[in-house]
Structure 1
Amino acid sequence: MTEIKSEYDVVVIGAGHNGLACAASLAKTGRKVIVIEALDSPGGACATTEFYEKFSVSSCAQWLYQLNDSVVSQMSLEQHGFELSARNIPTTVLCESGDHLTVFSDRLEGAGVSDKDKAAFKSFTKQMLKFCDVLSKAFKRRPPNLVDRSFGDVMALLGLGMKIKMLGKTDMRDLMRLGLINIYDVMEENFDNDLLKAAISLDSVMGSHMGPRSPNTVFGYLYRHMGDIYGYGRPGVSVVRGGMGQLGQSMAKAAKAMGVDIELNASVDRISIDLDKVMGVVLKDGRELRAGIVVSSADPKTTFEKFVGLANLETDTLRRVKNVRMKGDAAKLHIALDGLPNFMGLAESRLGDRLLIAPNMEYIEKAFNPSKYGKFSTSPIMDISIPSIHDSGLAPEGKHVLSAIVQYAPYDLEGGWEAGKQPFQNLLIDCLSQYYPGLKHQILSAELLTPVDIEERYLIHGGHWHHGEISLDQILMMRPFPGVSQYSTPVDGLYLSGAGTHPGGGVLGLAGLNTAKEIISQKKNRTG
Structure 2
Amino acid sequence: MTSFDAPARITANAYDAIVIGAGHNGLAAAAKLGKGGRKVLLLEAASAPGGAVRGREFAPGFRSAGLAHLVNRLDPEVACDLGLTLMPKSGPAMPTVVLDGQNEPAVLRGAYGETIDGISASEAEAFGRLRDKLVYQASILKRFLRRPPPQLGAIGMGDISTLAAAGFGLIRKGRAEGRDFLRMLLMNVADVADEYLEDDRLKGLLAFDATLGVHLGPRSPTSLLGLYYRLTGEVEGKAGGQFIPEGGMAAVVPAFLKAAEKTGVTIRCDTRVGRILADRGRASGVVLGDGAEIAAPVIVSAVHPQTTFLRLLDPAESDTGFLRSIRHIRTAGNVAKLDLALERMPNFTGLTGRDHNGRIVISRSMEHVETAFNPAKYGEFSPDPVMEIVLPSLADRTLAPDGACTLSALVQYAPYKLKMGWETGKPAFLKIVLDILERHAPGIGRTIIAADLGTPADIETEYDLPGGHWHHGELQADQLLINRPTRAASGYATPIDGLYLASAGAHPGGGISGLAGWNAARHILSGAKR
Q: More deviation in 5-14 or 485-494?
A: 5-14
Residues 492 and 500, structure 2, Cα contact 8 Å, conserved in 1:
yes
CA contact under 8 A between 1:242 and 1:393: conserved in structure 2? Answer: no
Residue 67 (str. 1) matches residue 74 (str. 2): yes
| Correspondent of 2:152 among 146, 155, 158 | 146
Query: Structure 2, unaligned stretches of length 5 or more?
Result: none
Within-5 A mapping of 1:411-450: 411-450=416-455
Aligned equivalent of 1:19: 26
In the TM superposition, what is the alpha-carbon distance from 1:397 to its structure 2 partner?
A: 1.3
Question: 1:479 corresponds to which residue?
Answer: 484
Q: Residue 227 of structure 1 aligns with which residue?
A: 233
1-structure distance, mates of 2:36, 2:293: 24
Structure 2 residue 201 is matched with structure 1 residue 195: yes
2:45 is the alignment partner of 1:45 = no
* Distance of aligned partners of 1:232 and 1:39 in 2 relative to their CA distance in 1, 3 Å threshold: farther
The equivalent position to 1:365 in structure 2, one of 352, 362, 370, is: 370
Q: Is the 8 A contact 2:231 2:239 kept in 1?
A: no
Cα distance in 2 between the residues matched to 1:189 and 1:309: 52
How does 1:149-160 map onto structure 2 within 5 Å? 149-160=155-166
Aligned partners of 2:247 and 2:395 also within 8 Å = no
1:341 to 305, 326, 346: 346
Offset of residue 39 of structure 1: 1.2
SS of corresponding position for 1:171: helix
Amino acid in structure 2 at the alignment position of 1:33: V
Aligned to 1:281: 286
Q: Identify the match of residue 124 of structure 1 among 130, 133, 138.
A: 130
Taking the TM superposition and a 5 Å limit, the aligned residue runs for 1:373-392 are 373-392=378-397
- Aligned-pair CA distance for 1:263: 0.6
The separation in 1 between residues aligned to 2:486 and 2:30, in whole angstroms, is: 24
Q: How does 1:80-99 map to 2 (within 5 A)?
A: 82=86, 84-86=88-90, 87-97=92-102, 99=104
Instruction: Determine the C-alpha separation between the residues in 2 that align with 1:211 and 1:354.
Output: 21
Distance in 2, matches of 1:195 and 1:394, equals 31
> Partner of 1:118: helix, strand, or coil?
helix
Q: Specify the SS of the correspondent of 1:45.
A: helix
Aligned to 2:410: 405
Distance 1:151 1:77, change over 3 A: closer
Greater shift in the superposed pair: 243-252 or 483-492? 243-252
Alignment of 1:327-338 (within 5 A): 327-338=332-343
1:169 maps to a residue whose letter is R
**CA displacement 1:284-311 (0-9 Å, x = unmatched):** 1111111111000111111111111333
Shift of 1:186: 0.7
Which of 447-456 and 86-95 deviates more?
86-95
Shift of 1:312: 2.2
TM-score, normalisation: structure 1:
0.95
Aligned equivalents of 2:237 and 2:258: distance in 1?
Answer: 19
Superposition pairs for residues 209-228 of structure 1, below 5 Å?
209-228=215-234
**Contact map agreement 1:88 1:233 (CA 8 A) in 2:** no
Give the distance between the partners of 2:236 and 2:268, measured in 1 at CA: 29
Q: TM-score, normalised by structure 2?
A: 0.94
Aligned AA for 1:513?
W
> 414-423 vs 13-22, which deviates more?
414-423
Alignment-mate amino acid for residue 56 of structure 2: T
2:303 corresponds to which of 293, 298, 301: 298
Q: Give, in angstroms, the shift of residue 205 of structure 1.
A: 0.5
Shift of 1:509: 0.6
The aligned counterpart of 1:169 is 175
Q: 1:101 to 1:420 in 2, by over 3 A?
A: same
What is the DSSP-based 3-state SS (H/G/I as helix, E as strand, rest coil) of the residue aligned with 1:495? strand
Greater Cα shift, 84-93 or 206-215: 84-93
More deviation, 44-53/426-435: 44-53
Query: Please, which runs of 5 or more residues in structure 1 have no aligned partner?
Result: none
Kept in 1, the 8 Å contact 2:89–2:248? The answer is no
Q: CA deviation at 1:98?
A: 5.1
Q: Structure 2: how far apart are the matches of 1:449 and 1:458? A: 11
Residues 44, 272 of structure 2: 8 Å contact kept: yes
Q: C-alpha displacement at 1:110, in angstroms?
A: 4.2
Q: CA deviation at 1:322?
A: 1.5
1:520 aligns with 2:525: yes
Are 1:320 and 2:325 matched, yes or no?
Answer: yes
The structural deviation recorded for 1:233 is: 8.6
Q: Deviations over 1:204-225 (max 9, x none)?
A: 0111111100111111101111
Residues 383 and 406, structure 1, Cα contact 8 Å, conserved in 2:
yes
CA distance in 2, matches of 1:158, 1:235: 25
Q: SS where residue 62 of structure 1 aligns?
A: coil
User: C-alpha offsets along residues 100-153 of structure 1, whole Å, 9 cap, x if unaligned?
Assistant: 111123445444x22221111111111111112222221111111122223333
Letter in 2 for 1:167: K
- Sequence identity, in percent? 40
1:515 and 1:216 map into 2 onto residues whose CA distance is 27
Partner SS state of residue 93, structure 2 = strand
- Matched position secondary structure for 2:411: strand
C-alpha separation between the residues in 1 aligned to 2:313 and 2:278? 8
The residue type equivalent to 1:46 in the other structure is: V
SS at match of 1:334: strand
CA-to-aligned-CA distance 1:440-495 (integer Å, 9 cap, x gap) = 11101110111011111111110001011111111111111111111100000000
- Work out the CA distance in 2 between the residues paired with 1:520 and 1:344: 53
Distance change in 2, residues 1:51/1:98 (3 Å): farther
Establish whether residue 460 from structure 1 lines up as the match of residue 472 from structure 2.
no
Distance 1:478 1:462 in 2: 19
CA contact (8 A) 1:99 1:110 kept: no
8 Å CA contact 1:332–1:404 kept in 2: the answer is yes
Structure 1 letter corresponding to 2:313: V
**1:68–1:510 Cα contact (<8 Å) kept:** yes
Query: CA 1:176 to 1:377, structure 2 compared with 1: closer, same or farther past 3 Å?
Result: same
User: What residue number does 2:355 align with?
Assistant: 350
One-letter amino acid matched to 2:359: R
Count how many residue pairs are aligned between Structure 1 and Structure 2: 520
Question: Structure 1 stretch 374-383 or stretch 126-135: which is displaced more?
Answer: 126-135
CA–CA distance in structure 1, aligned partners of residues 116 and 333 of structure 2: 34
CA contact (8 A) 1:144 1:157 kept: no
The answer to whether the 8 A contact 2:372-2:385 is kept is yes
Matched, 1:310 2:326: no
**Cα distance between partner residues in 2 of 1:34 and 1:240:** 28
**How many Å apart are 1:252 and its aligned residue?**
1.4
